[in-house]
Amino acid sequence: MNQAAGVAVVSVMPPSRGRLTAAASLAPLVWFKCGGKAEWLFEPADEEDLRDFLRDLDPAMPVMGLGLGSNLIVRDGGVAGVVVRLGKPFARVTTDGLRLRAGGGASGILVSSTARDAGIGGLEFLRSIPGTVGGFVRMNGGAYGRETSDVLVSATVVLRSGERLDLMADELRYSYRHSELPPGAIVVAADFSGNVADPAAIQREMDRIAAEREASQPLRSRTGGSTFKNPPGEKAWALIDRAGCRGLRRGDAQVSEKHCNFLLNLGDATSTEIEALGEEVRARVAAETGVRLEWEIQRIGSAA
């Protein structure tokens, strides 16, 4: 993949009112601040623009969505096809009674804060998910004993074909950090429900969650959040610690000493080094405990 190749095919890409960039660097858009380029980066002007673009796009062209890039490794060889990034037009949040509708690009902090202002309880945990609505709807994001599936009513998606589809929560067949969202679908909005609560009480719970995260997680580092899923009945961090991996390094990639289910980029780590460190952790944990950890971080693209 190179700039010349991108320019050579620009004439066959569908027109749009948004921004379409060839050979776009993804490193600035992900929390690890490393990784390769997207063959194409598309930032649609609105839902209609996204639908029209996908409808007219070559069906053979791969498509994937990108949120805040918080739980993501972009491999150094880059990502083929089109990466869709939902910007401000998809970050609006509105309320109606105990229902809340959020765009796919809205952050968990914005969703929980809007719920607080409307006196809607039960969504406080979304404040601790470092991503957008699209990401935590797709991955059933959760924290502090609750998951997206506990509060989601429905999701609006744009399919790879450009068709708009509303899916009820049970149609997504949620399980731990997994949904059966159609391949290539982009979550453009979601409806959540909560309960009547005092805004001051909601704020206290949000403050508690924020303080707990600050005390236990390396929030001010270049990281990808929780690296591995918790195995049934186990905590991934405890297994990693037991295997002697706390502080383990490969180049500038390191297992966090503060919370060892977090990987860090200490400066100039490549995505290859970060992923290789994760695989080394998995191997050591398997050798020590017999448990094979599963990646929670999404890894996309090709090796350099």
Of 128, 226, 256, 271, which residue is the catalytic one? 226
- Cβ(67)–Cβ(27) below 8 Å: no
Structure tokens at 140: 């059933």
**Which of 177, 250, 282, 284 is an active site residue?**
177
Report phi then psi at 181, rounded to 5.
Answer: -60, 140
The yes-or-no answer on residue 161 being catalytic is no
- CA 43, 223, 230 angle in degrees (round to 5)? 105
Both structure tokens of 96:
């109606």
User: Catalytic annotation on 271?
Assistant: no
Q: What is the DSSP letter of 271?
A: H
Question: Would you call 215 exposed, middle or buried from its count of C-beta atoms within 10 A (0-12, 13-18, 19+)?
Answer: exposed
Tokens of 175: 């399980």
Rg for the chain, CA atoms, rounded: 20
Active-site residue flag, 177: yes
List beta partners, residue 158.
164, 186
Beta strands in 140-221 (DSSP E): 142-143, 146-147, 152-158, 164-168, 186-193, 195-196
Q: Token pair of 259, please?
A: 């919370």
Nearest CA to 269 among 3, 22, 30?
30
Amino acid present at 73: I
Q: What's the residue count for the chain?
A: 304
| 3-state class (DSSP) for residue 185 | coil
Catalytic residues: 177, 226, 296
